[in-house]
Amino acid sequence: MSALIWNIASFVIALGILITVHEFGHFWVARKNGVLVKRFSIGFGKALFRWRDRQGTEFVVAMIPLGGYVRMLDDRFDPVLPQFKDLAFNQKTVQQRMAIIVAGPMANFIFAIFVLWLMYMIGVPEAKPVIADVRSGSIAASAELQPDYQITAVNGRSAADVRTLNLLLVEQLGRNQMTLQLQHRQSGQLTERQLDTRQWQFDPDRQTIFDSLGIDLMMPIPLTTLAHIEPGSPAALAGLEVGDEITHVDNSALQSWYQLTEWIQNNPSTPLDMRILRQGQSLALTVVPGERQTADGFTQGYLGIVPASSGWPEGIRYTKRHNPLTALQVGVQQTWQLTRLSFSMIGKFIFGDVSVRHLSGPISIAQGAGTTASIGLIAFLTFLALISVNLGVINLLPLPILDGGHLMYMVVELIRGKPVSEKAQEIGFRIGAMVLLLLMGIALLNDISRL
């Protein structure tokens, strides 16, 4: 229950910050262009707090924190005296109205740059992407990738750390091949390998992008010792405790955490005889894995346990910290990379390279917010930057109900010399709302299937 409250609180804080930033973009540029802003609302429904400034704008914090809006004077909907017509949004030039509309998404991109700038001045823990092992029969094995080589670039784009490499690899989904540049960790020898990715399958709900290619990176190794047990889980009900080391399952000795995971996932609702070490004593327990549905409809076992892990290999972990100027440069570069990746993923959804079952909705976002907030400030700031970029990108899509749809109408107006008819706009808004609701419904169903 406490985890749920933490996730909801983190989600509300994150969403509140991002919506405020987005709507402030519209608000600030509207004011700069001489538009009277009647209301600036964070949330919908009943107002919890409200106040007015000297220019007559009503600021509202409402009960339902799932959005927000800026209500501007518009003589198509508001009675406006002739002397105040120049304060109406619809009386401004097309270019001014376009600037006001695009200011919301742009504010999200600027906020992402600011967050990343702040992160890299504080210092971001990073890891070098050095190959520890290559799984036989995998795409990486076919390309003859070798252990002890650090992946330095993907198709010529530099990847100094695991975080950047992960994003670059996701961008390659749907392509027939990619080229990796590598450097040997000891000798410094440079080499290049081409990966045939025509049969590449990646399921983000079940594996990392590296797992899907058959690459194991040098990082802490999960152990069969338990670091956390979820309250009320099958593991807790069976009597497992934090610190227990699981050594055998059904009289078979365990070699790794991955072996244990596979055993549990393949045996939902099936009693498993386990032998554990607890404070130096060997004990026998019978554990019955619970059942849950995966995104692709399969039933999978789970226990609700988190493993302890070994330390980082020497020379892999480091802290990336910059002065204010270079931190700003890195912030701009990473925001552009996230923006490019977001548009790329939308294209992959449209063309079927990535399944819509991987869309995430509010539940997954809330879980992500809670998890990153519990890890620490840097993780939560990373989450904020990512969601801020995604919010900016989504709002630029040419769906009439979004900012991008309004921009689309204004571009047409700019070309034709007259506005799109209100009837055509109304039809577009209805279609846009239907498409958006459909996508939200799919994302919500995906969230529920992951619980």
Q: How far is CA 386 from the centre of its chain?
A: 6
Phi, psi of 358 (to 5 degrees): -95, 0
Q: Are 360 and 446 in contact (CB under 8 A)?
A: yes
DSSP assignment string, 68-94: EEEEE--TTTS---GGGGGGSGGGS-H
The span from the first CA to the last CA of the chain, in angstroms, equals: 14
Q: Are 12 and 65 in contact (CB under 8 A)?
A: yes
Question: Would you state the pLDDT for residue 447?
Answer: 47
Cα separation, 186 vs 176, whole angstroms: 32
> Bridge-partner residues for 309, per DSSP?
222
Q: What is the token pair recorded at 256?
A: 């790794």
Q: List C-alpha distances in Å: 436 to 201, 374, 401, 426, 427.
A: 27, 31, 8, 15, 14
| Closest CA relative to residue 130, chosen from 218, 71, 194 | 218
Question: Can you tell me whether residue 242 is helix, strand or coil?
Answer: coil
> Bridge-partner residues for 70, per DSSP?
40
Question: Would you state the pLDDT for residue 350?
Answer: 73
Orientation of helix 377-395 relative to helix 94-122, angle to 10°: 160
pLDDT tens digit at each of 451 positions of the chain: 466 677 677 777 888 889 999 999 999 999 999 999 999 999 888 888 899 998 889 999 988 877 888 999 988 887 877 878 889 888 899 999 999 999 999 999 999 999 999 999 999 899 999 999 999 999 999 999 999 999 999 999 999 899 899 889 988 888 899 999 999 998 989 999 999 998 888 877 677 889 889 999 998 888 999 998 988 889 999 999 999 999 999 988 988 888 898 899 899 999 999 999 999 899 999 999 998 876 566 788 889 898 998 888 888 999 999 999 999 999 999 999 889 888 887 777 776 666 655 555 455 555 555 555 556 788 888 889 988 998 899 889 888 888 888 898 898 888 888 888 878 778 877 887 777 667 666 555 554 554 5
Is 334 buried (19+), middle (13-18) or exposed (0-12) by CB count in 10 A?
Answer: buried
For domain 222-309, the CATH architecture is Roll (2.30)
DSSP assignment string, 276-310: EEETTEEEEEEE--EEEE-TTS-EEEE--EEEEEP
Portions of the chain given CATH number 2.30.42.10: 126-219+315-320, 222-309
Cα separation, 289 vs 283, whole angstroms: 18
**What is the DSSP pairing of strand 157-158 with strand 149-154?**
antiparallel
| Closest CA relative to residue 333, chosen from 79, 120, 141, 90 | 120
Active-site residue, from 23, 241, 291, 426: 23
**Catalytic site includes residue 23:** yes
Cα separation, 207 vs 362, whole angstroms: 21
Give CATH superfamily name and number for 126-219+315-320. PDZ domain (2.30.42.10)
Cα separation, 407 vs 391, whole angstroms: 16
